[in-house]
Amino acid sequence: MNSLSIFFTYEYISSKVDITWEDLKFGIDHGFLSSNAAIKHATKLAAENPNVSNLMFGLASLYPGDSIQQYLDQLVKSESVTEQNELAAEK
């Protein structure tokens, strides 16, 4: 867990690195980010690309404080599958 009580805002982190769903999940699960960071990330991605998945649109539609875990878990899994497919295509 976050024994140093370090906390980051989504805006700060996203301005420094290209954040992934797995990064967000880790940060939220360990107390470095609020669960609202996942909602903000989904909202940002939906604004940049109107053809986002229903899953991401559902997450972007949540209010701060709503449960995000089911969305986040599925987005991490889908991100992992996409990465595996990209690696396989490179070979």
Q: Higher pLDDT residue, 88 or 6?
A: 6
pTM for the model stands at 0.83
| CA neighbor of 72 nearest in space, from 35, 47, 45 | 35
CA distance 70 to 15: 26
User: What Å distances lie between residue 72 and 23, 41, 46, CA to CA?
Assistant: 11, 11, 15
pLDDT in tens, 41-81: 999 999 999 899 999 999 999 999 999 999 999 999 998 76
Question: With bands split at pLDDT 50, 70 and 90, how would you rate the model's confidence at 87?
Answer: low
The domain limits of the chain are: 10-90
> What is the per-residue DSSP string for 55-91?
HHHHHHTPPTTS--HHHHHHHHHHHHHHHHHHHHHH-
pLDDT in tens, 5-19: 889 999 999 999 999
**What pLDDT was estimated at residue 37?**
97
